[in-house]
Amino acid sequence: MVDAGAHDRGVLPVTAPARIEASALAELVDAVGPRNVLTADHDRAAYERDWTGRFKGRTPAVVRPADTEEVAAVMEVCRRHGAALVPQGGNTGLVGGGVPMAGEVVLNLRRLATVEPVDVVARQVTVGAGASVSSVQAVAAAAGLRYAVDFAARDSATVGGTVATNAGGMRVLRHGGTREQVMGVEAVLGSGQRVRRLQGLVKDNTGYHLGSLLCGSEGTLGVVTAARLRLVTAHPHRVVALVAFADVATAVEAVASWRSALDTLEAAELFLDGGLALVCDAFGLAPPFVDRWAAYVLVEAAGHHDPTDGLAAAVATTDAGDVAVATDASRRSALWRYREDHTLAINTLGPPHKFDVTVPLGVLAAFVDEVPHRVAARVSGARTWLFGHVGDGNVHVNVTGVAPDDERVDEVVLTAVAELGGSISAEHGIGTAKARWLHLSRSDDEIAAMRALKRALDPDGVLNPNALLPRGT
């Protein structure tokens, strides 16, 4: 039943009441202490909506455990009382996966923020689920290493959230996504059983890799409480170039040639003229070039030796237009802003519908050219913004000017992706936003296998029951 007032508030309507038995609430208070069970409206509010403002739910209580023991105790209470819970980190997920859309208890993990000293010999670090991505990057840098996962929400996003969603980001091209960095996890499964493999053994071939399974399980199988993360070499030389192109197809071809030519390539990010203009308007930035171009690729290379000449030579072999190059840190981040600030700039237009899709590279340019027309033909007034990690084939499609619960636009974009043999989620996950579209990327047998895993590890169905798996499968 759609709540008629929902559009005015600019959020999706809440579909279930948020209630919990008084005895369950009392036991939660026993488990984590009264100060860490938030029930007052003004205390809960920040935990009930996502960063974009598209997803807003309601919870009877936000529970904030301090450690794994307390997480296990909360899980036990919820299981006994049949109270569903939604694990939540920094609340920067973009698919409604950490928001109590159906009245669940919120299990916020931010207090588990321990960051252990870096193990320099193993090039690894063990961190609590609540540690921010930027805090891991900082300890890695202080130890002369680097944490490879990086994206704009780094200061708020938590490691637990990035493991649960297998977050991608800007450096996947060179280092892989979060799953590639996770050497092991500690977790409390929905069954109440514990998993703890934090030794960081590179070779450990003793059966199911539960860490890999939990990574990307979106809080439906277990609650990740800590992770052992791989660190990578901190290359001393780094260069960023912003390269303009007359069209997206030429940009995609150029990136393919750079991937072959440059061992140092670390990121290749695409954006378009409309998005660049929006970012410049929103934040008062001067455009990078006098001329306007259809497509831009921000490329970063890093190595033990200065990669600038190699990058310049590789750029020169392509049909590039204007080029801006930055080697010092502040000019590099000035160029990165044109790309990273897309998310913030788009949100100034109201809560967008966000799609983080992958399409085969051979059809990426056609997809980017075609999708805005298909969207506009279906929903008048809708505007489509496209950018993304072009080296990975990952396009972020943002659509503004559409009511939060108007799913016509979801259907247009996601079916176009499926027709092209792409994936409906490259890196943000399925959450509650895309559960009903999972069949576009997964077969019935695969969904049944996932459902069987869910039943085995979360037999009471308390963990994030509305995320990832479509209802009734």
Residues of this chain that interact with ligand 2HG (CB under 6 A) are 151-152, 343, 354, 356, 396, 398
If we measure between CA atoms, which residue out of 175, 154, 188 comes closest to residue 235? 175
CB 345 to ligand 2HG: min, Å: 10
Of the two residues 77 and 153, which places its CB atom closer to ligand 2HG in the complex? 153
Query: Using an 8 Å Cβ cutoff, are 72 and 186 in contact?
Result: no
CB 369 to ligand 2HG: min, Å: 19
Of the two residues 92 and 250, which places its CB atom closer to ligand 2HG in the complex? 92
CA–CA gap between residue 364 and residue 7 (Å, rounded) = 33
Of the two residues 58 and 354, which places its CB atom closer to ligand 2HG in the complex? 354
CB 151 to ligand 2HG: min, Å: 5
Query: Sign of dihedral through CA atoms 330, 331, 332, 337?
Result: positive
CA–CA gap between residue 228 and residue 291 (Å, rounded) = 47
CB 86 to ligand 2HG: min, Å: 21
CB 63 to ligand 2HG: min, Å: 28
CA–CA gap between residue 452 and residue 75 (Å, rounded) = 20
Of the two residues 175 and 354, which places its CB atom closer to ligand 2HG in the complex? 354
| Residue with nearest beta carbon to ligand 2HG | 343
CB 398 to ligand 2HG: min, Å: 5
CA–CA gap between residue 42 and residue 261 (Å, rounded) = 55
Q: Which residues contact 252 (CB under 8 A, 6 or more apart)?
A: 270, 361, 364, 365, 390
DSSP string spanning 2-51? Answer: --TTHHHHTSPPP-S-----HHHHHHHHHHH-GGGEE-SHHHHHHHHB-S
Of the two residues 186 and 341, which places its CB atom closer to ligand 2HG in the complex? 341
CB 343 to ligand 2HG: min, Å: 3
Of the two residues 68 and 92, which places its CB atom closer to ligand 2HG in the complex? 92
Of the two residues 55 and 151, which places its CB atom closer to ligand 2HG in the complex? 151
DSSP string spanning 157-210? Answer: -BHHHHHHHT---TTHHHH--HHHHEEEEEEEETTS-EEE--S--S---SS--H
CB 396 to ligand 2HG: min, Å: 4
Q: Which residue has the tokens 């299990």?
A: 107
Of the two residues 152 and 430, which places its CB atom closer to ligand 2HG in the complex? 152
Residue 4 exposed, middle or buried by CB count within 10 Å (0-12, 13-18, 19+): exposed
